[in-house]
Amino acid sequence: MADRNTNAWVEVGVTGAKSLTEGRWKMSADEQDFLLRSAEDQGETTILHFERAACRLEKQKTAHVLLDRNGLLDRYELEPIRMELTLPDGERAELAAVCSLDNIQKLSGWGLSILPVFDLLDKPDATESITCAQGNDLLPDGARLEVWRAQDELVLLKRDSGLYTPKRTVQFGRLAVRSIRSVRQMGEVKREAYQIPGTPGGIHLGKAVLIGALLAVALGFLGAIILSALGLIAGIAVGVIIGVCQASEEGTPACTEYREIDERKVIVDIDQPDGGAASILFQKEAWEPLNRLLAPAELQGGAYRRQPGAGEGLVDELERLSALYEDGQLTVGEFEQAKSKLLAQL
Q: Confidence band (pLDDT; 50, 70, 90) for 207?
A: low
Tell me, what's the pLDDT at 192? 83
CATH class of the structural domain 124-189+265-294:
mainly beta
Q: Quick one: average pLDDT of 163-183?
A: 80
Region 206-231: mean pLDDT is 59
Q: Residue 141's pLDDT band (boundaries 50, 70, 90)?
A: very high
In CATH terms, are 1-122 and 124-189+265-294 the same topology?
Answer: yes
Instruction: Supply the pLDDT for residue 201.
Output: 57
Q: DSSP code of 344?
A: T
| Band (281; pLDDT cuts 50, 70, 90) | very high
Which architecture, in CATH terms, is 1-122?
Roll (2.30)
Domain boundaries, the chain: 1-122, 124-189+265-294, 199-252, 296-346
- Of 343 and 183, the one with more pLDDT: 183
How far lies 316's CA from each of 28, 152, 180, 310, in Å? 63, 21, 19, 11
Rounded mean pLDDT of the chain? 77
**134-160 CB burial, b ≥16 within 10 A, e <16:** bbeebbbeebebbbbeeeeebbbbbbe
